[in-house]
Chain A
Amino acid sequence: MIAFSTLIQQLDQTNKTNEKVLALRNYFLSTPPEDVLWTIALLSHRRPPRPVTTTLMRTWAAELAGLPLWLFEESYHIVGDLAETIALVIPESTATLKPQKLNMLMEAIIALKPKGEDEKKKFIIDHWQSLTGLQRFAFNKLITGGLRIGISQKLMTRALAQAFEMEENHIAHRLMGQWTPQNTTLDQLLFNPNPEDLLSQPYPFYLAHPLQDRPDQLGECAAWIVEHKWDGMRGQLILRQGKWYCWSRGEELISEKFPEFEAFLSLPNGTVLDGEILPYKAGKIQHFALLQKRIGRKNISPKLLEQYPVVLMVYDLLEWEGNDIRAKSAVERRELMERLFDQYQNQNLPWLLSPSLHLPSWRAVEEERQKATAIQSEGLMLKRADSPYGVGRKKGDWWKWKSDPLTIDAVLTYAMRGHGRRTNLYTDYTFALWQGDTLVTFAKAYSGLTDEEFRKVDAYVKKNTLERFGPVRRVKPALVFEIAFEGIAPSTRHKSGVAVRFPRILRWRHDKKITAANTLDELKALIVQ
């Protein structure tokens, strides 16, 4: 784990991508394979379950540092990272034990979970006392999870590709799926995969970039396939050797959540479909909120299946007759897909083919985009007709052109300190709308302002605090912001009676007084009936 904590330090010390990749590459080449495997797992969100609660860790850390718990908590809110706060408050130890290898430590952490509290406490405090500051931070990260060290899966993949002289896309594909360091080896994962493991292995999802400007810059409209951007859950359906698997974009196997997809077994073996899982009833696409009723449940009862049926809106074909066809052009893939739909149209499968909209001009495309919300679509997808199916968020071939968000002017009422680089700045805000002469909370947002604006709001919050509740401050209502959001639905869980999706700050309305902010009724009027 010395090498691992040194790696974290190196990654921390530079903000240059190339240097980060180089540090990772060197680490992969100089570290034993079992530790490389664990590092890949940790950097691709495959950490084992947390063996102790963070509440216990806070209590033990405060105790060991001889601090009142409240002061530890305040320090944590200021530092913005629990693992780091613990590492910083505990006095440097003199007695250093020999740190373990990463894989041994991870196995010990996994073995800790079922043990009693006394044993857990001893394990953790022994480590805190025997490690130096940086290793202590790394150790805490391994326990609490969520490394957040500025390394995306894409950068890790690039570093692996450089270290082992393999194709980046090839590695991205190998890393997909539900493997753990305990059920595989580095050799099996990257170099000599087990044929059985390959059976369920999904392809890396290709992700679209948001289109910032007008589409004119993309050249001729005719060179693009235009589709709606369906508002559901991305899914990859795999049919191989009489078995089926459905994967989410977060690389989770979600087959059990959608038992109706078993019907797809009537399609030929060696078929992989990419699409959007949508709530669908009585021949109509339903609101995204209904899908959440399915995703959230552990047991999918027949009643639930009947209440909230789903459909796979297919928009790509990645494997056909057992062959990886991602290199074929989007047009060719679509032709094969259409043929597949024709052939199986009488089977009554829970699927739809996402229509390719044949529109004559960018102007017509723009008009279509305005109609999206009415049909439960978030906007449009623009896919270059001659492009292959890419890996990850590679820019240029797939663009998402979302409908303009809904907006409303709201009043800032509460603020909380941010995390990471916004540590110690009040950047997480709660917004309210008028109901009579009271302000009712309707959304929280923490993105959309520039650093300079955040600093100004931070200064306002610090000078205009009315009340404190731990890390939260109630502020004097005076600032108005335009809040944008993607969708809106009635909600019994929120005091305001509505839930908005992905709220963010569009701009600071310096020109508006709080009396000019919108009302809750005006917000409710935006719900599509």
Chain B
Amino acid sequence: MPLLEFTSKGIYCSLADVYLDPWRPVAKAIISHGHADHARWGHKQYITHQDNVAILKHRLGAIVVSGKAYGETFSINNVTFSFHPSGHVIGAAQIRVEHRGEVWVFTGDYKIKNDGLTLPFEPVKCHTFITESTFGIPVFHWPDPVEVHTAINHWWAANNKAGRASLLLGYSLGKAQRLLHFLDPSIGPIYTHSAVGNMTAVFEGTHAFPPYQNLTAETSKKALAGSLILAPPAATEAAWLRKLGDYRSGFASGWMHTRGARRRRAVDQAFVLSDHADWPGLLAAVKATQCENVITTHGYTDLFAQYLREKGWNARTEKTNYEGESIDPKPTL
């Protein structure tokens, strides 16, 4: 029996009777990170990284959850588990599973490039590596994120100078905090959509952010001129856009790397910034684990697995309900 199996409820460890990131309600779930497709509602017990506890409580309300530090091992029925930084978002972890010397690692989602806010990805030696492959084709090569943040500030400054608001779109958890962290508050005031503001409030005290406030019904149009408004991607369809007056929109996502996707989103400005690994990143991660077996779970799974097989890995694809980064708006967290 393999250490981890792919079932209709999620990735299952039968020896420990525990699921990793299950998509159906289960008794005991080990959760890699706080995004909705990995951390679902309805499990009886959650085990996750300690920094993710507050995120889960914010998102899922009253749940039974215990937190662990990175590298701290815990055993369930002689199976040893531990969390290791995945560099995806704050509190995100790869899950290492070991039984009698056999090691499997499930990445959840990850990125290799240091984002300056999240603890960077740490390769974990294993036999079987279960990897995401959201951007698993060779057209994705991320630009230097420092340059992207500089470009965002320049864009905002130019809009500010023209008296316009800047609407910057990115996921409420992860992308928004990363964007916020690098905004230059000397350009103008920063407002947040409540989904972003309330999520970010969870990290107050543990992470540094420039001053910001939630955009509310009381915020005046005048106050918004020249400001930057940070909102989740789904906010483009909300009625509150009308409030912003004259504005330009920008979207920060890995998908913005291709022109077709940029045209589909029809934003004024695209920024290529992702919390997922690009093609060289995925390949580097697979190599660094020194694994023999690779299982690809979501994204361009078939193509990435086929390429790895040609390169000598024992690679295959398993179907999951994870979505990775989506180009089209997902419901607000």
Binding site for B on A (CB under 8 A): 12-16, 65, 67-68, 70-72, 74-75, 78-81, 84-85, 88-89, 91-92, 150, 419-424, 455
Q: Which residue of A lies closest to B311 (CB)?
A: A68
Q: How far is the CB of A133 from chain B (nearest CB, A)?
A: 9
Q: Is the CB of A74 within 8 A of B268?
A: no
Q: How far is B261's CA from A424's CA once the two chains are assembled, in angstroms? A: 9
Question: Is the CB of B137 closer than 8 A to any CB of chain A?
Answer: yes
Contacts of B141 in A (CB 8 A): 88, 91-92
Contacts of B263 in A (CB 8 A): 15, 150, 420-421
Q: A14-B268, A68-B310, A71-B303 are in contact. Are A421 and B260 (CB under 8 A)?
A: yes
Q: How far is B328's CA from A442's CA once the two chains are assembled, in angstroms? A: 33
Q: Is the CB of B264 within 8 A of A78?
A: no
B272-313 interface (Cβ within 8 A of A) = 300, 303, 306-307, 310
Most buried by A among B259, B263, B264, B310: B259
| Binary contact readout B253-275 vs A (1 if CB under 8 angstroms, 0 otherwise) | 00001111111101011100000
Q: Is the CB of A78 within 8 A of B261?
A: no
- 30 CB < 8 A contacts A-B: A12-B262, A13-B269, A15-B266, A15-B268, A70-B306, A71-B303, A71-B307, A74-B303, A78-B300, A79-B260, A80-B260, A84-B258, A84-B259, A88-B139, A88-B140, A88-B257, A88-B258, A89-B139, A91-B141, A419-B260, A420-B260, A421-B260, A421-B263, A421-B264, A422-B264, A423-B258, A423-B261, A424-B260, A424-B327, A455-B328
**The 7 residue pairs across chains A and B that have the minimum distance between CB atoms:** A423-B260, A88-B139, A421-B263, A421-B264, A75-B137, A89-B138, A80-B260
Contacts of A15 in B (CB 8 A): 263, 266, 268
Contacts of A72 in B (CB 8 A): 138
Contacts of A12 in B (CB 8 A): 259, 262
Q: How far is B280's CA from A91's CA once the two chains are assembled, in angstroms? A: 11
Q: How far is B137's CA from A423's CA once the two chains are assembled, in angstroms? A: 14
Q: How far is the CB of A27 from chain B (nearest CB, A)?
A: 19
Contacts of B260 in A (CB 8 A): 79-81, 419-424
Binding site for A on B (CB under 8 A): 137-141, 257-264, 266, 268-270, 300, 303, 306-307, 310, 327-328
Most buried by B among A78, A150, A422: A78
Q: How far is the CB of A72 from chain B (nearest CB, A)?
A: 8
Q: Which residue of B lies closest to A92 (CB)?
A: B141
Q: How far is B158's CA from A13's CA once the two chains are assembled, in angstroms? A: 14
Q: How far is B262's CA from A424's CA once the two chains are assembled, in angstroms? A: 12
Q: Which residue of B lies closest to A68 (CB)?
A: B310
| Besides A14-B268, A85-B139, A420-B260, 5 new A-B residue pairs in contact (Cβ under 8 A), listed by A number | A15-B263, A67-B138, A88-B139, A92-B141, A421-B260
Q: How far is the CB of B124 from chain A (nearest CB, A)?
A: 27
Q: How far is B266's CA from A420's CA once the two chains are assembled, in angstroms? A: 12
Q: Is the CB of A79 within 8 A of B258?
A: yes
Q: Is the CB of A81 within 8 A of B138?
A: no
Q: Which residue of A lies closest to B302 (CB)?
A: A74
Q: Which residue of A lies closest to B327 (CB)?
A: A424
Contacts of A67 in B (CB 8 A): 138
Q: How far is B141's CA from A284's CA once the two chains are assembled, in angstroms? A: 62
Q: How far is B136's CA from A75's CA once the two chains are assembled, in angstroms? A: 10
Q: Which residue of B lies closest to A83 (CB)?
A: B259
Q: Which residue of B lies closest to A137 (CB)?
A: B259
Q: Is the CB of B328 within 8 A of A78?
A: no
Q: How far is B328's CA from A455's CA once the two chains are assembled, in angstroms? A: 10
Most buried by A among B137, B258, B307: B137
Q: Which residue of B lies closest to A66 (CB)?
A: B138
